[in-house]
Amino acid sequence: MTIAHEEAVIDSAAVDAIFAQARTANTFTGEVTEEQAQAIYELTKFGPTAFNSQPLRVTYVRSDEARATLVDTLSRGNRAKTASAPLVAILSYDTDWAGKWDNFLPGYNAPKAMYDADPALAASTGNNNAHLQAGYFILAVRSLGLAAGPMTGADFDAVDAAFFPAGDQKSFLVVNIGQPGEEAWGEAKPKFAYDEAVRTV
């Protein structure tokens, strides 16, 4: 039992499933239902983002054709596990997220002007907040009793050309999803201790 377990408002099993004992899987088995896929997003969307912007977009890859296209864009070490995962998600951000302002923050659009005037700021804000949501996405996967295998080893320009040719989305992460398969992970890797990573000022 750790201080994280002692201070948590959810039970120890939930703390372990989402955080303490959860691992990045490298082999997968089982299936991921459409209901589970929907539930992952339904949980993800509640995490906070700047101005409630929610720039993350999720593309679930289920067809054999789309899977083969995606696998070809991945680093060699990521191809086999992605080819066999029950479900694969491409995470991207909406390049026109600010254009949806009235959908995510109706009645208060004054801040939108600074994004309209500065495309680089809009892009970085969309990218940063989508990365934030990617963390929620992984925790949502774990909370449903599934394992996540997030990967950045990909040619994301090639991913965008294949899946988002209109330029309306920019991909940044591929996540394999399913039950952990045989030898899904090796030995646990060390994590930084509190006094190595945290300071109080």
* Residue 35 banded pLDDT, cuts 50, 70, 90: very high
- 192: pLDDT strictly greater than 80: yes
Alpha-helix runs per DSSP H in the chain: 3-7, 12-15, 34-44, 64-72, 76-84, 101-104, 112-117, 119-143, 156-163, 194-197
With H, G, I as helix, E, B as strand and everything else as coil, classify residue 9: coil
**pLDDT, tens digit, 9 for 90 and up, residues 151-171:** 999 999 999 999 999 999 999
With H, G, I as helix, E, B as strand and everything else as coil, classify residue 153: coil
How many C-beta atoms lie closer than 10 Å to residue 127's C-beta?
Answer: 17
Q: Which two tokens mark 39? A: 């539930």
How far, in Å, CA of 120 to CA of 114, rounded?
11
- 143: pLDDT strictly greater than 80: yes
Which residues neighbour 23 within 8 Å (Cβ) at sequence distance 6 or greater?
A: 147, 180, 184, 185, 188
User: Is domain 26-180 classified as CATH 3.40.109.10?
Assistant: yes
How far, in Å, CA of 70 to CA of 112, rounded?
34
How many C-beta atoms lie closer than 10 Å to residue 14's C-beta?
Answer: 15
The dihedrals phi and psi of 139, each to the nearest 5 degrees, come to -65, -35
Of the chain, the end-to-end C-alpha distance in Å amounts to: 28
**pLDDT, tens digit, 9 for 90 and up, residues 91-138:** 999 999 999 999 999 999 999 999 999 999 999 999 999 999 999 999
How far, in Å, CA of 192 to CA of 29, rounded?
31
pLDDT recorded at residue 1:
77
Provide the CB-side half-sphere exposure for 153 (13 A, CA).
14
- 186: pLDDT strictly greater than 90: no
pTM to 2 decimal places: 0.96
Which residues neighbour 161 within 8 Å (Cβ) at sequence distance 6 or greater?
A: none
- 175: pLDDT strictly greater than 90: yes
Give the Cα-Cα-Cα angle 143, 149, 154 (nearest 5 degrees): 140
